[in-house]
Amino acid sequence: MLKPYDLVMYDLRSYASPKAKLTQMIRKGEIIRIARGVYADSFDDPRLPVAGMLVSPSYVSFETALGYYGCIPERVHAIKSAGFNLNKEKRFDTPFGLYTFHYIPRNVFPLALTPAEEQGHGFRLAQKEKALLDTLYKIRGITTKKGISDLLFEDLRINELVFEELDWELLSALAPYYRSTTINTLIRHGRNI
């Protein structure tokens, strides 16, 4: 089970020194320190909900969410999330893997999110359309139909069947919030890519 520091301290409140007991448990491998203030009982605990415990507010997005929805064939090893209070990319190299957090404009941050759950732990997940736009937001300067087509289907390896099923009304509604040339190119050419 994933636990924040406060919950771990509450569980250990019967000990004379809960902090000393926690240190002892970490040394013995009875509990895993994922990062400062975030703990797990075992390596079988879920990985995606950890992101929201490391940086808040945040949501799982980018290639991680695209992989979750089956939009790309690869299994993504680093958990990529979005946040808006970030001056630069944040990275956490943890026993559960690498977690990265990337800036997304404040106005688009709360839109098109869905609650998700993994092994009883909840987390925020971008809808597949938003995950695609978040990913494209980080890629600058694509202005041609061929450029966006190559990016989507060769570089990112987006599943063409999934691409056809995207909600273009949602994509078109979200696009202006990003102010991105690459995203505008996607919207301009739409399904004709």
Does position 191 have pLDDT exceeding 80, yes or no?
Answer: no
Same domain, 61 and 17: no
Q: What pTM was computed for the model? A: 0.91
Same domain, 63 and 19: no
Does position 88 have pLDDT exceeding 90, yes or no?
Answer: no
Q: How large a percentage of the chain has pLDDT more than 70?
A: 100
Mean pLDDT in residue range 122-134: 98
Same domain, 118 and 160: yes
The DSSP symbol for 132 reads: H
Distance (Å, whole) CA 116 – CA 120? 10
Same domain, 62 and 108: yes
Mean pLDDT in residue range 143-160: 95
Q: Can you give the residue range of the structural domain that contains 15?
A: 2-40
76 Cβ partners below 8 Å, 6+ apart? 63, 64, 66, 67
Mean pLDDT in residue range 16-22: 96
pLDDT band at 82 (very low <50, low <70, confident <90, very high): very high
Total domains present in the chain: 2
pLDDT digits (tens, 9 = 90+) for 57-80: 999 999 999 999 999 987 778 999
Distance (Å, whole) CA 137 – CA 144? 16
Same domain, 99 and 117: yes
Same domain, 27 and 81: no
Same domain, 34 and 52: no
Mean pLDDT in residue range 102-125: 96
Same domain, 77 and 159: yes
Mean pLDDT in residue range 123-138: 98
Residue 170 belongs to a domain with what CATH number?
3.30.460
Does position 193 have pLDDT exceeding 80, yes or no?
Answer: no
Q: How large a percentage of the chain has pLDDT more than 90?
A: 91
Same domain, 64 and 22: no
Structure token digits, residue 133: 């736009």
